[in-house]
Amino acid sequence: NAGVTQTPKFQVLKTGQSMTLQCAQDMNHNSMYWYRQDPGMGLRLIYYSASEGTTDKGEVPNGYNVSRLNKREFSLRLESAAPSQTSVYFCASRRGAQGGGGNQPQHFGDGTRLSIL
């Protein structure tokens, strides 16, 4: 039972380069999320997808784009990487339901550690 799988696990980029972080879940969840984690700041929501076909901005969307490719996959793209985007990125999913599913826990991947030089 894989749960939420993120690739790659580690990546080093140069300023200005682009890359896509991949996320896939095998739990048939409706909602998917991208967070970044920085020391002392907890988890900050970048984008989320409440259901297949929809995406919405979170707390810190600038510099990122997302694609909900299908129900399983939700990718995060950095078009022109900046040193301020050095962080650990987590993808999460939740079963979701009509009305949001706020009572449901999120399931997390193991993260992508991204360094931008």
Partner 1 sequence: AQSVTQPDIHITVSEGASLELRCNYSYGATPYLFWYVQSPGQGLQLLLKYFSGDTLVQGIKGFEAEFKRSQSSFNLRKPSVHWSDAAEYFCAVGATGGFKTIFGAGTRLFVKA
Min CB(90)–partner 1 separation in Å: 6
Q: What is the distance between the alpha carbons of residues 88 and 37, in angstroms, rounded to a whole number?
A: 5
Nearer to partner 1 (CB atom), residue 76 or residue 109: 109
DSSP 83: G
Nearer to partner 1 (CB atom), residue 87 or residue 111: 111
Enumerate binding residues for partner 1 (CB under 8 A). 4, 31, 40-43, 45, 48, 50, 56, 58, 90, 92, 96, 99-111
CA 16 to chain centroid, in Å, comes to 20
Q: What is the distance between the alpha carbons of residues 1 and 40, in angstroms, rounded to a whole number?
A: 32
Nearer to partner 1 (CB atom), residue 111 or residue 116: 111
Min CB(68)–partner 1 separation in Å: 13
What does the chain come to in residues? 117
